[in-house]
């Protein structure tokens, strides 16, 4: 079945949740992560979907919430729900009660502060490798490093985390490894959003390994979309953010009619 047929079937559901990863899904990837923005066609499709009745759009991202709001050009008047840090952080539109915040064990924050400094020292001198401070941990980025440098940076940080924080969750992605003391995943984030919204069906789209947890968790009435190459549990694959924008636009048109 083509994605057009899948989209038309999904559009008929009573209450729809459209949950979307951001980097590589609504936007193209960039060597400067804070410079990414949704392609205009995707941003317009999101706007149209979010304006429809019985339809909720949410960005579900590994980005910490402050960064997700920046790259998503998301202000306090937005109708788009947010789940940042793989679902450990949340934002809801005005008047919509969100889940109670849970900051975790303060001891973990202390470990993270020390580990962040150690990780930054560990990758010093490895060209193209850098450490990102995240709300609940850190990530080592190697997009700009050569193969040997990437492997060395990852091995060094792996060793540090194994020694100092063996209970942290480790996630791999495109040219990065992320470590966090919070164990939420995009699967639990999507499940929580579906429960909050009462959605009778879910569309989830993502482009990376970390999105597969959510894609595998979807039910028969839901639709998973993989953006770009890679092994996937999704029923539908699109080539890039522009084709996803086409799919989302068709969904908005079908649902509005």
Q: Could you read off the pLDDT of 43-80 as tens digits, one per residue?
A: 999 999 999 999 999 999 999 999 999 999 999 999 99
Q: Does domain 106-180 have CATH number 3.30.70?
A: yes
Could you tell me the residue ranges of all domains in the chain?
3-101+184-256, 106-180
What's the pLDDT at 61?
96
The average confidence (pLDDT) of the chain is 94
What's the pLDDT at 105?
62
Tens-place pLDDT, residues 195-248: 999 999 999 999 999 999 999 999 999 999 999 999 999 999 999 999 999 999
* H or E, element range at 137: strand 137-141
Residue 55 token pair: 């339809």
pTM over 0.85: yes
* H or E, element range at 90: strand 89-91
Report in angstroms the alpha-carbon separations of 145 from 109, 155, 160.
Answer: 29, 14, 20
């038309």: which residue's tokens? Answer: 8
The half-sphere exposure of 187 on its side-chain side, counting CA atoms within 13 A, is: 12
For residue 84, what are the β-bridge partners? 89
């559901």: which residue's tokens? Answer: 13
* Nearest Cα residue to 12 out of 241, 223, 225, 245: 223
Tens-place pLDDT, residues 167-180: 999 999 889 999 99
Averaged pLDDT for residues 132-141: 92
CATH of 3-101+184-256, one of 3.30.110.60, 3.10.20.310, 3.40.50.1000, 3.40.800.20: 3.40.50.1000
Residue 148 token pair: 């040997």
Checking if the pLDDT of 104 tops 80, the result is: no
What's the pLDDT at 108?
75
């Amino acid at each position: 079945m083509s994605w057009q047929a899948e989209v038309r079937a999904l559009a008929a559901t009573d209450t729809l949740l459209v949950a979307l990863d951001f980097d590589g899904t609504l936007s193209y990837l960039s060597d400067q992560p804070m410079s990414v923005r949704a392609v205009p066609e995707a941003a317009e499709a999101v706007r149209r979907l979010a304006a429809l009745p019985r339809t909720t759009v949410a960005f579900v991202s590994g980005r910490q919430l402050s960064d997700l709001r920046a790259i998503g050009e998301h202000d306090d008047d937005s109708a788009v729900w947010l789940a940042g840090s793989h679902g450990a952080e949340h934002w809801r539109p005005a008047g919509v009660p969100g889940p109670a915040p849970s900051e975790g064990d303060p001891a973990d924050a202390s470990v993270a502060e020390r580990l962040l400094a150690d990780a930054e020292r560990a990758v010093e001198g490895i060209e193209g490798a850098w450490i990102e401070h995240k709300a609940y941990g850190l990530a080592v980025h190697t997009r700009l490093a050569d193969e040997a440098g990437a492997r060395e940076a990852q091995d060094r940080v792996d060793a540090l985390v194994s020694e100092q924080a063996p209970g942290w969750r480790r996630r791999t992605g495109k040219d990065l490894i992320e470590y966090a003391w919070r164990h939420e995943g995009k699967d639990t984030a999507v499940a929580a959003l579906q429960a909050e919204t009462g959605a009778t069906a879910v569309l989830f789209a993502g482009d990376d390994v970390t999105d597969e947890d959510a894609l595998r968790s979807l039910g028969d009435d839901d639709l998973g979309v993989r953006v770009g190459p890679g092994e996937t549990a999704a029923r539908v694959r699109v080539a890039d953010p522009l084709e996803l924008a086409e799919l989302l636009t068709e969904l908005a048109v079908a649902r509005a009619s």
